[in-house]
Amino acid sequence: MPPRRTADITLGGRVPRPLTCGDIERAARSFLKTLQVSKAQISIVFLDPRSMRRLNLEFLGHDYVTDVVTFDLGSERSGTRDKGQGTGRAKRKGKENSFLSICSRRSFPCPMSHVPCHLNGEIYICPSQARKNARLFDAPFREEVLRYLAHGLLHLSGLDDATPDERRHMTSSEDRLLGSFLSGPALLT
């Protein structure tokens, strides 16, 4: 019998329209299921540009607004815990995107593996940056926001994006999560 999956998902800040709290929670649960996460405690917080800039400066030392910041609060995989921190940047469509994350560097393969894990983290998303990047990458705003959610969960699952190969793998993993969710039955209204 497959392991029982539990996810405690909390939302903070103002969820950007046209998305709803239900859309964000359904996407998070779908992504966690695809990643085969057995247990998760995830906070997803939407910040205005000023608050995101302050967070980015205080914790990462970067004095600018970014689109998503992820904090790993002690995720576990195969019974081990790693509190190491690293940073990453992602590229899409040949253009640099300012994904910044604090994430654990763990010694297990892809988070898409069949190993149950426990994720515990916070994902901060700036909707105004999502709007700018959606225009820049010619992507629907909803998908851009959900991409940041997928990106944060992938970091919590152990994926990094510090090298070109890692960035390509991160982007293809984001695409896989988004594709799986968006092709589901009427999940976004």
Is residue 185 situated within a structural domain?
A: no
- Predicted local confidence at residue 77, as pLDDT: 58
Q: Beta partners for 171?
A: none
- Closest alpha carbon to 180 in 54, 30, 16: 30
The stretch 163-183 carries a mean pLDDT of: 95
Q: What percent of the chain clears pLDDT 70, i.e. is strictly above it?
A: 75
Please, which pLDDT band fits residue 91 given cuts at 50, 70 and 90? very low
Contact assessment for residue 128 and residue 49, using Cβ atoms and an 8 Å cutoff:
yes
* Distance from C-alpha of 68 to C-alpha of 45, rounded to nearest angstrom: 10
In a domain? residue 79: yes
**In this structure, is the dihedral angle defined by the CA atoms of residues 90, 75, 178 and 27, taken in order, positive or negative?**
negative
Q: Are 100 and 69 in contact (CB under 8 A)?
A: yes
Give me the amino acid identity at 86. Answer: G
What mean pLDDT is predicted for residues 105-119?
50
Mean pLDDT, rounded, for 109-123: 67
Task: Respond yes or no on whether the N-terminal peptide bond of residue 49 is cis (omega within 30° of 0).
Answer: no
Please give the pLDDT value at position 185: 61
The pLDDT mean for the chain works out to: 81
pLDDT tens digits, 8-32: 999 999 999 999 999 999 999 999 9
The total number of structural domains that make up the chain: 1
Please check whether residue 43 lies inside any domain of the structure: yes
Structural domain span for residue 116: 6-180
Q: What is the CATH number of the domain that holds 52?
A: 3.40.390.30
- Asked if 52 and 66 touch (Cβ cutoff 8 Å), the reply is yes
* Residue 92 pLDDT: 35
139 domain-assigned: yes
Residue 104 belongs to some domain of the structure? yes
Q: Is residue 127 part of a domain?
A: yes
For residue 188, is it within any domain?
no
Q: pLDDT tier at 2 (50, 70, 90 boundaries)?
A: low
pTM value is: 0.78
pLDDT score recorded for residue 101: 35
β-bridge partners, 7: 40
